Amino acid sequence: MSIVIPTHNRLSSLKRLIHSLNQLRNSPEEVIIINDGSQDDTQEYLYSWAEKDHPYIAINYINKRAQGPGAARNIGIRLASSPFIAFTDDDCIVHKAWVQEITNSSQWNGHKNIVGIGGKVLPFRKGLIGEYFTFHRILEPPDPISYLVTANACYQKEVLLEVNGFDVNYRFPGGEDCGLSLKLVRRGYQFGYESKMVVWHDYRTSLIEFMRTFYRYGKGCAETVSNHFHTEMKA
């Protein structure tokens, strides 16, 4: 399994994520980190990270200009050597059994058309905003499962290539996740949910950041759904 992570100006949380990846009970084949135009010390850190001895192959790719998480993940998809690609974000940490639970999940055998699975996203720290996101499962697949969220998801690589990956028009987080899922659903594919597949997300604690997040997610998803239906009507 390959793990793909885009990052942009979040060095402290990225270090925390990498520490959790080093603690995995079952190592992936490779971890691919796309530095999407970071202007902090991320690149210096990733150079040293890639040169260290890891239980996995460490791949560091640089975008000199920020192109957005969708474009960064598409680079990771092309670089990945495994038939399965797991995604998480630079403000998350993964459970020690994350890779194990993805690999062993019965969801892969639940239906022949299941090409991706999502998991549980818990708050990294206590707080009203994190509790709100968790209670309403904002970063988890809805029920019924119509899309996956890349804070915690794994796909078959071949289907990602089949639909040309994520939409690169969304330069900020929000919209590219459900856009990818809609393209796959339109081709008859389905998704599963694995409750034992756990990551912790570091939710922003300020009200302003909370409102910005919801605005980006809402705007991106609304544009994605609108474009999807326009495409359907033209077909």
**Whole-model pTM?**
0.84
Looking at per-residue pLDDT, the higher value among 229 and 113 belongs to 113
For 184, how many CA atoms within 13 A lie in the half-sphere containing its CB? 28
More confident residue, 216 or 39: 39
Cα–Cα distance measured from residue 31 to residue 18, given in angstroms and rounded to the nearest whole number: 9
Q: 67-71, 90-94, 109-113: which has the minimum mean pLDDT?
A: 109-113
- Each residue of 182-208: pLDDT tens digit? 899 999 999 999 999 999 998 665 556
119-146 pLDDT per residue, tens: 999 987 665 554 545 544 555 666 668 7
Q: Mean of the per-residue pLDDT values for the chain?
A: 84
In the chain, helix, strand, coil percent, each to 5?
40, 25, 35
DSSP 152: S
CA distance linking residue 191 with residue 164, whole number of Å: 18
Q: How far apart are CA 168 and CA 202, in angstroms?
A: 25
Higher pLDDT, 163 or 225: 163
Could you tell me the pLDDT band of residue 173, with boundaries at 50, 70 and 90? low
Domains of the chain plus CATH, in order, are 2-234 (3.90.550.10)
Residues 6+ apart with CB under 8 A from 37: 8, 63, 64, 65, 66, 67
Other residues' Cβ atoms within 10 Å of the Cβ of residue 2: 24
Chain centroid to CA 19: how far? 18
- Residue whose C-alpha is closest to residue 220's, from 182, 194, 188: 182
